[in-house]
Amino acid sequence: MVKSVMKNNIIFVIFILAVVGFLYSISGRKYPQIPASESHQGITEATACMKCHGPDGLMPRKPAHPPKDDCFKCHKKKRVKPSK
């Protein structure tokens, strides 16, 4: 009887972990990455982003973009694979 209860507990824990993992995987927002282009190299402050992505820039933010000017909080740099 102890083995049966233990087996049921293990199955329950695995089920709960699977549900939590699934919910976590579908809950995250995916933000566009900062391109690895030459024009984005060396940018470390949001004020530099606003030169192009501000209201008067070449590529302004979309109207639905949140009004935060902390770009690096959501947008991360795209990783560049090292050349061999």
Q: Name the residue with higher pLDDT: 30 or 63.
A: 63
Q: What are the structure tokens assigned to 44, written together?
A: 């470390």
3-state secondary structure of 77: strand
For the segment 50-56, the average pLDDT, to the nearest whole number, is: 90
Alpha-helical (H) ranges within 1-84 are 2-27, 46-53, 71-74
Place of tokens 């391109």: 35
Residue 36 covered by a domain: yes
Mind listing the pLDDT tens digit for each residue in 18-42? 999 998 888 777 788 888 888 888 8
Q: Do residues 5 and 25 both lie within one domain?
A: yes
Residue 62 covered by a domain: yes
Q: Do residues 49 and 23 both lie within one domain?
A: no
Q: What is the pLDDT of residue 7?
A: 92
Q: What is the pLDDT of residue 80?
A: 63
Q: Do residues 25 and 57 both lie within one domain?
A: no
Q: Do residues 71 and 55 both lie within one domain?
A: yes
Cβ-based neighbours of 71, under 8 Å, separated by 6 or more: 34, 46, 49, 53
Q: Do residues 15 and 41 both lie within one domain?
A: no
Q: What is the pLDDT of residue 32?
A: 84
Number of domains in the chain: 2
